[in-house]
Structure 1
Amino acid sequence: MPTPVPPCPDTPNCERVQRTFEAAPQRVYRAALAALADLNPISCETDPDNRSAQAVYRVAFVFNDDVHIAVRPSDKGGSTLHIRSASRVGYSDLGVNERRVRRFFRALAHHF
């Protein structure tokens, strides 16, 4: 089965993580959308039927980073949330995407 978010390239400007939750997929998806919004994207496209979303974040008023999320039912019940945060250009992002993913999970915790 293909991955629900794109793989990262072989550069340090991308962070891709998955976490499993005991909550139902729809509940995790709603909380994930709220967490994305908390991080103030410049745009966000959602696909409720596939429980996925793509958001764009501006960095240093110049660069855009893309964040993809997808929530899938877990094999053991509950849900698995997949997130990928990546720079569109450059090689290194000085840890920006890794920090964004950590902030996303902190924001997500507030919406459960």
Structure 2
Amino acid sequence: MSRLPDLIEFPALKRPARPNNCLIAPEGFAGMVRVDETAPVFDKTPKQVFDVVMDLVLERVEWRLRASDPDTLRISFIAVTPLLKFKDDVYVQAVPVDGEAGRSSVAIYSGSRIGYSDLGTNEKRVKELLELIGTR
């Protein structure tokens, strides 16, 4: 069983070779690690994005807050799959957009603790989270 620390530094993230994880981040934010998609930009401040994600984590029964740091705008939580109760680790960091006050992006990593494939569960979770950030 693989488990990352409570909060991560995205540029230092080491992704497993297995297809049971997903990473979306602003261009260049994750250092040399491969990202699945470039993250969108939101018309929200980084603090607003952080607050939206915190609210979402606290609202969802299947998501359990692990750690949060409002100073670095990072959050981590455990997402429990409904049927088999697998635990996935999710890390989020709100990221300011250079030269654009009031706008921000986000880095999100979601990875399964066990197994080889996740049947797209982590990618779906990341995309759902992005959609929810954009609509709140």
Aligned match for 2:56, one of 35, 38, 54: 35
Change in 2 beyond 3 A, CA 1:30/1:106: same
Q: Identity over aligned residues, as a percent?
A: 28
Letter in 1 for 2:88: D
Change in 2 beyond 3 A, CA 1:7/1:79: farther
Kindly report which structure 2 residues correspond to 1:8-87, keeping only aligned pairs within 5 A, or say none: 8-18=15-25, 19=39, 20-44=41-65, 45-59=67-81, 60-77=83-100, 78-87=103-112
The total of aligned residue pairs comes to: 110
Change in 2 beyond 3 A, CA 1:57/1:28: same
Per the normalisation by structure 2, the TM-score is 0.69
Per the normalisation by structure 1, the TM-score is 0.82
- The RMSD of aligned alpha carbons is 2.1
Q: Which has the higher contact order (CA 8 A, sep 6+)?
A: 1
TM-superposed CA distance for 1:23, in Å, is 2.3
Residue 49 of structure 1: SS of its match in structure 2?
coil
Gaps of 5+ in 2: 1-8, 26-38
Deviations 1:36-84 (A, max 9, x none): 3444344212111111100101123431001000012222422221000
CA distance in 2: counterparts of 1:5 and 1:106, whole angstroms: 26
Question: Which of the pair is proportionally richer in helix?
Answer: 1
